[in-house]
Structure 1
Amino acid sequence: MTSSPTAARPRTIPALAAGATVLALALAGCSTATPSGTAGTASGEAAPVSNGAAQISVSVEKVDGLDQCVPDFATAPAGPVTFTVANKDASGVSEVELLSDKRILGERENIIPGLKAVSFTVTLPGGQYQLYCPGAGNENTPFTVTGSAASAQANGVTGLLKEGTDGYAKYVSGQVDSLVLAVAALQKAVDSGDVEASQKAYAEARPFFERIEPVAESFPDLDPALDLRVADVEPGAEWTGFHPLEKDLFEAQAVTDGSKALAAGIVRDVDTLKSLTAELESSGAYKPEELANGASGLLEEVQSSKITGEEEAYSKLDLVDFAANIEGSQQAFEYLKPALQEIDPGLTKQISTQFETVTTALQDYQDPAALGGWKPYTDELKASDGAKLTALIQALQAPLAKISEKVATV
């Protein structure tokens, strides 16, 4: 879960519903009133289509003294829609999400004033959606999609994309199955009171979650329960999940009754994640552009926040997470690769080459003797190598960010 670089923000997404309600794309109406200046400069007109996708620009800016998210169009035709987000001067907003009912369909985090615009592409049927901007004066802005998306033709590329999403769904389920076993081992170690064994089990569990983090983040209550950092905990709210347990094990180096309760909560929440991802797989709910957005989003998170060492602040296992994020990103890309090779072979080759460059460079940080198999991400290592690692990821993330629109517009 990406930590906001600004003050902790409350999340006002409605509570996560269970079962098929969460997974359905039946679209709930949005009744939130839109303040002056946030309805888009072309209110009532549908966004123009370019490169096969409707194009929406979202400006994150101050309006009448309040931080707001301002889309230039409030309506788009059904089909692929690309949202390009730039933060002009709104320091209190760092994230933009597109919601359907309670599911996050697409998002971009770490949208900081002055940084370049970022984008995500989703394929949308007609209905009512919301642009959700935590921390804005008006956090929920209605967005309407009109008409029905054209049925995809059963051509070769479409078939390859379907094979890719089905394969990725199985990959996610496999990672979750491994995570279930890993957190059970973590709970057992914590319950025994053995701090060293608990630290080892913690390090062994983290990669399974980090590889599939975009999927976990699509469940907006479950992900914070498992992976929220202390800076993002709302005042008075309970801090649960991996990171308060990490603090007990690595900073206090003690197992308490609270530690045991945290471990038990992690096991319960991971069991819930298993149920939800199983429903995603069985319903065929994954879309190619979701895989692409997730692959790009993982790398954005690495280069914007994890590279600073804030993810594993107590254990210094950031490189464990870092490597798992890159692996998860590459897996999403690899499942799309056969179709991408048909769509844009040049871009596909560029991304493949850059993944090889990044994974080769990361080998220098492996340490079989270290906890989790990677060097601790100390302040000294961060100071000496942080900029180099950031540059490596940026060179990969830039071309990877282009593929969501390409697979959505087939």
Structure 2
Amino acid sequence: MKTRHFGALAGAVAVAIALTGCVPNRASADAEALAVSVTDDTCTVSKATAPGGPVTFQVTNNGTDVNEFEILAADKLRIAGEKENIGPGTTVNYVVQLAEGTYYTACKKGMVGDLVDVRTFTVTAGKTSKASQSESRQIAQAVTNYISYVKDQSGQLLTATQKFAAAYAAGEVAAARAQYPATRRFYERIEPTAEQFGDIDPALDLREADLEQGQAWTGWHRIEKDLWAPAGYTAATPAERTKLADKLVSDTRKLYDLVHAKDFTLTIDQISNGAIGLMEEVSRTKITGEEETFSHTDLWDFMGNVEGADVAYGIVRGIASARGVDGRAVVKQLDTRFAAITAQLSAYRSGSGYVPYTALSTAQVKELSDGVNALSEPLSKLTSIIVE
């Protein structure tokens, strides 16, 4: 779950998922990076226009708080791209594929609340694509394959959620606890897709620490707290359990319906940026153990994120490998580092699952963090390579 609240964008359907890693991407070889200077109350882009195609933004946070850079579509509701978790004093490069049209750029201090310094950004007609007919077919097949994966995972998620919700509503605590992390793993594999659909991700995956005043808390972590109740907590009544369970199933079905809709599609950069975003989420928040505050089933989430990122990478791997020396070098690194992080996580298997995150020593957490960072560095280059 990314720590972001949607404010004025609530309910909007995002058209892109442009997430990147915490390490700067290599800028596109065909376009100069546009400098974005961010402060607590300004969001200035060096140029207000760019040719269509892959556009690279070099975002520097000169403010006092973590920030987020967004590109909105012409209606100012749909998200054409966003780069989150830009810490104070840091600079990140971020690549997104933009078609000709009118957009708006803005930032969001603290990644919550209203957009800051909304400005018009125009994308003009781009250059003729360099992709050959064969490459175009390869890209189209990659997109088709990934959409099929998302549909499959959302279907398995819905089925498992219905079973979990039934156990929870019936007060079968042991059964619900056992099913909780395994069911969430389906969600963790495709979370970037869920984040496209405005209010779906907060409804399903909002953490207690990210609640805004007066905001209703539903979803997995609300139920998690009830199943692993901390001291002083008042357990949900049977009626409250039923309401929470029904809402969880209903919101999961919404996600299922959205990805199975006839007009649902993705772009190749959304797939690669989704992989980057999954690993960024691990390195930014999950490595601290804040995701599963009550159940400490974080390692299930880690593995789900790694599996989802690995699938997305595997689907675009051939495209990256065909992009010359740079592409082959990144592929070689990613093959090695995905295998390494998978092996690290597998060392903490226990039965059909994983040990509690609280069982790991400080040294073991650092080792995992180092493995995630080692993977994130080459992964952050993936989008700029495949959209050249």
For Structure 1 versus Structure 2, the TM-score category normalised by the shorter chain is 0.7 to 0.9
Q: Give the counterpart of 2:244 among 262, 270, 275.
A: 262
Residues 106-131 of structure 1, C-alpha deviation per residue, up to 9 Å, x if partnerless? Answer: 3222211134x223322111212233
Equivalence for 1:287 = 267
Equivalence for 1:72 = 46
SS in 2 for 1:95: strand
Cα distance in 1 for partners of 2:273, 2:216 equals 30
Cα distance in 2 for partners of 1:271, 1:382 equals 38
AA of the residue aligned to 2:203 = A
AA of the residue aligned to 2:304 = A
1:151 CA displacement? 5.2
AA of the residue aligned to 1:138 = V
AA of the residue aligned to 1:334 = G
Check conservation: 2:272, 2:312, Cα contact below 8 A: yes
Greater relative contact order (Cα < 8 A, sep 6+) = 2
Rate the CA distance shift 1:384–1:151 in 2: closer, same or farther, 3 A.
closer
Cα distance in 1 for partners of 2:152, 2:226 equals 29
AA of the residue aligned to 1:387 = K
1:189 CA displacement? 0.3
Cα distance in 2 for partners of 1:89, 1:24 equals 28
Q: Give the counterpart of 2:371 among 384, 388, 392.
A: 392
AA of the residue aligned to 2:318 = P
Check conservation: 2:3, 2:210, Cα contact below 8 A: yes
Equivalence for 2:295 = 315
Cα distance in 1 for partners of 2:137, 2:127 equals 18
Equivalence for 1:277 = 259
**Bigger CA drift: 131-140 or 336-345?**
131-140
Corresponding pairs, count: 365
Equivalence for 1:81 = 55
1:138 CA displacement? 2.0
Q: Give the counterpart of 2:337 among 345, 354, 373.
A: 354
Unpaired stretches in structure 1, ≥5 consecutive residues = 5-9, 26-48
SS in 2 for 1:177: helix
Q: After the TM superposition, which residues 192-231 of structure 1 pair with which residues of structure 2 at under 5 Å, given as runs?
A: 192-231=170-209
Check conservation: 1:133, 1:140, Cα contact below 8 A: yes
1:199 CA displacement? 1.2
Q: Give the counterpart of 1:188 among 157, 166, 175.
A: 166
Q: Does residue 150 in structure 1 map to residue 124 in structure 2?
A: no
Cα distance in 1 for partners of 2:80, 2:303 equals 25
Cα distance in 1 for partners of 2:157, 2:201 equals 14
Cα distance in 1 for partners of 2:188, 2:246 equals 19
Equivalence for 1:32 = none
TM-score, normalisation: structure 2: 0.87
Rate the CA distance shift 1:402–1:306 in 2: closer, same or farther, 3 A.
same
Unpaired stretches in structure 2, ≥5 consecutive residues = 17-26
SS in 2 for 1:123: strand
Q: Give the counterpart of 1:121 among 83, 95, 117.
A: 95
Cα distance in 2 for partners of 1:55, 1:376 equals 43
Check conservation: 1:105, 1:290, Cα contact below 8 A: no
Cα distance in 1 for partners of 2:342, 2:15 equals 37
Q: Give the counterpart of 2:328 among 339, 342, 345.
A: 345
SS in 1 for 2:360: helix
Q: Give the counterpart of 2:211 among 229, 233, 245.
A: 233
SS in 2 for 1:219: coil
1:154 CA displacement? 4.2
Equivalence for 2:277 = 297
1:262 CA displacement? 1.5
AA of the residue aligned to 2:362 = A
Q: Does residue 97 in structure 1 map to residue 80 in structure 2?
A: no
Residues 157-207 of structure 1, C-alpha deviation per residue, up to 9 Å, x if partnerless? Answer: 222222111101000000000000011011110121111111122222100
1:152 CA displacement? 6.3
TM-align CA RMSD: 2.3
Check conservation: 2:147, 2:266, Cα contact below 8 A: yes
Cα distance in 1 for partners of 2:274, 2:360 equals 28
1:223 CA displacement? 1.0
1:50 CA displacement? 5.1
Equivalence for 1:14 = 9
Q: Does residue 366 in structure 1 map to residue 349 in structure 2?
A: yes
Rate the CA distance shift 1:132–1:285 in 2: closer, same or farther, 3 A.
farther
Residues 364-388 of structure 1, C-alpha deviation per residue, up to 9 Å, x if partnerless? Answer: 111116xxx011111x526232221
Equivalence for 1:131 = 105
Q: Give the counterpart of 1:405 among 356, 362, 384.
A: 384
